[in-house]
A = this chain, B = another copy of it.
Amino acid sequence: MSESTVVVLGDTPPVRLDRLSGRARVLVSDADALPELLPAADVLLVWDFLSDAVRDAWPGAGPRPRWVHAASAGVDRLLFPELIESQTVLTNARGLFDQPIAEYVAGLVLAFAKDLPGTWELQRQRRWRHRETRRLAGTRAVVVGAGPIGRAIASTLGALGVRVELVGRSTREGIRGAHELNGLLPTADWVVCAAPLTPATRGMFDREAFARMAPSSYFINVGRGPLVSTQELRTALVSRRIAGAALDVFEEEPVPLDSRLWDTPGLLMSPHMSGDTIGWRDDLARQFQDNYDHWAAGEPLFNVVDKQLGYVPG
């Protein structure tokens, strides 16, 4: 195969693609330069996975990249009709974030169970106030999203003695179907959202869902912001309809300074970092380059997204 042109969208800090040196022409682009560079690209590496620049720059009838790789598990920003309907192959970073996100969720669940935020607020106030906290073992979790991330969360919580129901699109062995979710919410102590963002899942956690949850229960979102109606979550928290929530993803990122979310009672906010352990960028670069080896050898790519479903099936 002749030398391919790889366009990289967004590289702050710079992506290290040492293994492509001498094998590909690598062009780094920002959103502004992308319309000009994209027609020349054989491969597009989408490093800035929250950008709409690919959609905006997508060549109409012109030459298009044959392969687009997202340096993320979620590919929602790339699921626009022109790319879905094209012959372009879309791959993602499936596998890299499973264990880190599972650990992050376990940390949040334990922090809620043991009221660590309350403890640290009391420390700030120099107040010694003993409280009784929850035993985690024996509680119930519902994890929505039955991909590798959801399964890793279920496995980690299970290792801590939590009884977990895993909810996917359709019912299959060990997995409840989405239509069963409503029946599972009332008895869950923890509801964790790790679903892909697709037309079927957008806004799935809304007022109705929070109304089904127990007043003592907690909600955690590590998927994508628009899976949740943030305003309706805020209302559920302010009215103590549920006990608390943690959001790592938001409808708008970064969350604006004047957002009412920041001081919502019972809400813990983190800046889209649940999966980003030390060295994650190197891991992402290595995975892309592994897939590039397949590409260069004319072999099938791995982590190919089903563009109709919006994720890598199976």
Contact = CB atoms under 8 A, between A and B. Distances in A.
A160 B128 contact: no
Q: Which of A99, A119, A270, A273 has the most CB of B within 10 A?
A: A270
A278 interface: yes
Contacts of A160: 103, 106, 156, 159-160
Q: Give how many copies assemble into the complex.
A: 2
Interface in A123-155: 123, 126, 128-137
A130 B273 contact: yes
A226 interface: no
A251 interface: no
Contact of A120 (B106, B120, B129, B277): B120
Interface in A56-83: none
A40 interface: no
Contacts of A110: 103-104, 106-107, 110-111
A116 interface: yes
B99 A255 contact: no
Contact of A99 (B100, B130, B137): B137
A268 interface: yes
A169 interface: no
A128 B271 contact: yes
A261 to B, nearest CB: 9
Contact of A119 (B129, B137, B268): B268
Contacts of A128: 253-255, 271
Interface string A274-309: 001111100000000000000000000000000000
A117 interface: yes
A137 B253 CA distance: 29
Contacts of A123: 262, 268-270
Contact of A133 (B129, B134, B255, B276): B276
A259 to B, nearest CB: 8
B131 A273 contact: yes
A94 B280 CA distance: 43
Contacts of A114: 103-104, 107
Nearest to A278: B132
A257 interface: yes
B277 A134 contact: yes
5 contacts: A99-B137, A103-B136, A129-B271, A131-B273, A133-B277
Interface of A: 99-100, 103-104, 106-108, 110-111, 113-114, 116-117, 119-120, 122-123, 126, 128-137, 156, 159-161, 253-255, 257, 262, 268-273, 276-280
Given A123-B268, A129-B271, A132-B278, 15 more contacts: A99-B137, A103-B137, A104-B110, A107-B110, A110-B111, A111-B116, A119-B271, A120-B120, A120-B268, A122-B271, A130-B272, A131-B273, A132-B279, A133-B276, A159-B159
